[in-house]
Amino acid sequence: MKYRHAFHAGNFADVHKHVTLLALLRGLARKDTGFLLLDTHAGRGLYDLGDADARKGNEAATGITRLEAFLTDADRPAATELADYLGIVQHIRSERRDRRCYPGSPLLGLHALRPQDRAVFIETQPSEHAALRAAVGKHATVECADGFLRLANWLPPRERRALVLIDPPYEETAADFRAVQRALNETLRRLANAVVMIWYPIKHGRDTDQWLERLALQWPTAAGGAAIPCLVTELWVHPRDNRAGLNGSGLLIANPPYLVAEQMRLWLPELHRALDPARTGGWLVRESLAVTSAP
């Protein structure tokens, strides 16, 4: 059976990924020139948290629902990035007249784009692609294809700036990790200044760390051998060495926009407090060899 994100929509990993995506888009928008948002594994775009698939694991209860409750009860304003994320979620719910819907990365991304920006969303499953096309309408280009194979078609873009989101299902974990590495290399070879955001699951910390170490040894460089900056951010709500299931959410970001890492060190601890009230997990922000983390 092909992966269906509806079972996991709005969970803690979605929240971590989507807050970060919006922060990156806001960072890119500091410059007036337009950019391309390219999502290689876009999903259906909009999810119903009240349907049978979403209710089966009720994962949104420990993600978007928990964050909403936390910020409602807080006695101080939320970090800008968290308020921005929740504001867009609430706007989409109001626009759709559906308090139980949850927007995926395509709809969240579209709400952060400006008139000079473009979006391309790619989804391989026909049924999810049809739902995605209905969700975004005429506001973006939507393709039913393998997102890994379509990178070459869209890069480099005419804007010469891009944010490429790579978020495969990891059904075949080892194969998907290899495909992600190839996609990263291909993207940066075609557009060295592209902001690339790769989501990865943390199911066992040692396996994740080994993959990141292997990736570091083969980290691409720009023309002339210039180093391409890298940012790693993780949020885990269970111990990283627990093999019971999904323990955490990781994001590898190439060419992060200016000040994103510094701002992340402010809002990520707050997000962790909201999503991990039992304090069984932690968070991490790492640039190159500099590490800032908290248990």
Residue type, 93: R
CB 215 within 8 A of CB 252: yes
Distance separating alpha carbons of residues 187 and 214, to the nearest angstrom: 18
Number of other CB atoms surrounding residue 166 within 10 Å: 23
Distance separating alpha carbons of residues 137 and 131, to the nearest angstrom: 10
Number of other CB atoms surrounding residue 4 within 10 Å: 16
H or E stretch at 118: strand 118-123
103: preceding bond cis by omega (within 30 degrees): no
Please list the active-site residues: 167
